[in-house]
């Protein structure tokens, strides 16, 4: 059943009131998967929930069995529309993936003013077996997670349960992603005002993927094994690269792109790192290389000839093994930083991150990190992880049927206990 509200509806400036314990949920944009639909079913099965989903583009209607609220207006007028929707439908809760998308920024601002519960999903901070759910907070550096050594030194965990290993499928994720973007392309004219949160066109990203992975077939067979063998018994620092279009870079760092970070690291390493150490960059597994970090590193090394044989760029390799074998890890604010801390590795975060504080990350300048990298406090790391599992990390995943089946019951319980 679909309800279309193409222009702001008239409404009285009324205070939201609902029947006790009744919850009216509005799902905004979520993971490109059936996750939100399965969560909606679970909420409805509890007997006192009404669910709707906002459709900004045709792909938002995929994997949805309930009522749709369609918006075809401009981003500029969206705040008027969404406030009307909240009030007309007596929305008590909104659910969304990521808090930095333009539509979500407007929606959450208005929801706060109306005392609507805000549930923000994100991929897990403790990957690969968790999803993040923040309540009336923000994700990543916008989260209300305490960021002081003193707090976590005395933290007592609330619960203790083992994480089930999630069976992820890149093929399934790709199939769902293709379905979503294909239907958007076919119905573009019907949603011509829709603005995607990423600058690059989807077809450009898929072309980038095809170029990268056609080359990767060859490099995985011939180049990568030689590179891994070369660093096997050598002292090296690891730099896992992030995606330049990620809000972690755009919103939660002072870098314009990952290329700026690469320049800073190379120049600092060249000036300060012991001559026997290597620097290993690892390409993000989902990078389309539209912002081509591999070519950028090669160009930069031409200006730093002393690093010619000391810098490697890996397009692959087992990340936990690379972390274990490294002297330390440098990130902007990637969740790999949390993995590194869990491996008891010195970790330098160059951006704003939930884990970037004394006792966890190295607080020393980057220039001295290469010489004497500060290791984390093991007990503090354990307490921090337990805090995350107590408050905003839930076993499961967004992009496989197995992950969704594990996550939905945990997430539903968390949402419905908040009456």
Q: What is the distance between the alpha carbons of residues 405 and 226, in angstroms, rounded to a whole number?
A: 40
Q: Is the peptide bond before 87 cis (omega within 30 degrees of 0)?
A: no
Count of domains observed in the chain: 2
- Asked if 303 and 259 count as a contact pair (C-beta separation under 8 A), the reply is no
**DSSP label at 54?**
E
Which residue range(s) make up the domain with 286?
196-386
- Asked if 59 and 32 count as a contact pair (C-beta separation under 8 A), the reply is yes
Position 186 in a domain:
no
Q: What is the distance between the alpha carbons of residues 129 and 168, in angstroms, rounded to a whole number?
A: 9
347 - beta bridge partners? 329
- Asked if 253 and 333 count as a contact pair (C-beta separation under 8 A), the reply is yes
Residue range 299-357, pLDDT digits in tens? 999 999 999 899 999 999 999 999 999 999 999 999 999 999 999 999 999 999 999 99
Residue range 58-106, pLDDT digits in tens? 999 999 999 999 999 999 999 999 999 999 999 999 999 999 999 999 9
Position 190 in a domain:
no
Assess whether 363 and 405 both reside in one domain.
Answer: no
CATH number, position 157: 3.40.50
Assess whether 278 and 330 both reside in one domain.
Answer: yes
- Would the pLDDT of 5 be above 60? no
Position 210 in a domain:
yes
Position 71 in a domain:
yes
Assess whether 120 and 160 both reside in one domain.
Answer: yes
- Smallest CA-to-CA distance from 82 within 109, 63, 60 is with 109
Assess whether 65 and 214 both reside in one domain.
Answer: no
21 band by pLDDT with thresholds 50, 70 and 90: low
Assess whether 239 and 152 both reside in one domain.
Answer: no
Assess whether 210 and 120 both reside in one domain.
Answer: no
Q: Name the more confident of 288 and 301.
A: 301
Assess whether 244 and 329 both reside in one domain.
Answer: yes
């Amino acid at each position: 059943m679909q309800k279309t509200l193409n222009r702001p509806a008239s409404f009285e400036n009324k205070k939201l009131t609902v029947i006790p314990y009744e919850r009216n949920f509005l799902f905004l944009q979520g993971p490109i998967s059936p996750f939100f639909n399965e969560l909606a079913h679970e909420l409805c099965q509890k007997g006192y929930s009404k669910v709707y989903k906002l459709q900004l583009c045709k792909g938002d209607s995929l994997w949805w069995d309930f009522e749709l609220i369609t918006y075809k207006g401009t981003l500029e007028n969206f705040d008027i529309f969404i406030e009307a929707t909240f009030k007309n439908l007596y929305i008590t809760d909104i659910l969304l993936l990521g808090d930095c998308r333009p539509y979500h920024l407007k929606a959450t601002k208005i929801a706060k003013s109306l005392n609507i519960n805000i549930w923000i999903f994100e991929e897990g901070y403790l990957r690969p077996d968790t999803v993040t759910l923040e309540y009336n907070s923000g994700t990543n550096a916008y989260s209300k997670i305490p960021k002081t050594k003193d707090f976590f030194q005395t933290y007592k965990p609330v619960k203790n349960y083992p994480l089930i290993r999630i069976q992820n499928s890149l093929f399934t994720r790709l199939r769902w992603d293709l379905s979503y973007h294909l239907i958007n392309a076919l119905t573009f004219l019907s949603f011509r005002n829709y603005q995607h949160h990423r600058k690059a066109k989807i077809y450009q990203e898929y072309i980038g993927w095809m170029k990268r992975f056609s080359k990767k077939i060859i490099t995985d067979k011939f180049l990568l094994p030689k590179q891994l063998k070369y660093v096997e018994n050598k002292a090296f620092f690891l730099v896992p690269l992030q995606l330049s279009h990620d809000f972690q870079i755009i919103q939660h760092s002072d870098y314009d792109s990952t290329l700026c970070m690469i320049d800073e690291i190379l120049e600092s390493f060249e000036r300060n790192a012991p001559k026997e150490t290597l620097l290993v960059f690892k390409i993000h597994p989902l990078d389309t290389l539209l912002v081509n970090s591999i070519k950028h590193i090669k160009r930069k090394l031409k200006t730093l000839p002393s690093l010619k044989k000391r810098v490697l760029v890996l397009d692959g390799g087992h990340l936990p093994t690379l972390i274990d074998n490294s002297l330390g890890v440098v990130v902007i604010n990637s969740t790999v930083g949390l993995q590194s801390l869990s491996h008891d590795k010195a970790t330098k975060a160059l951006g704003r991150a939930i884990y970037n504080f004394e006792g966890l990350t190295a607080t020393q300048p980057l220039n001295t990190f290469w010489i004497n990298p500060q290791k984390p406090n093991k007990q503090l790391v354990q307490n921090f992880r337990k805090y995350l599992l107590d408050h905003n990390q839930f076993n499961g995943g967004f992009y496989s049927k197995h992950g969704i089946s594990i996550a939905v019951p945990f997430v539903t319980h968390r949402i419905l206990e908040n009456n």
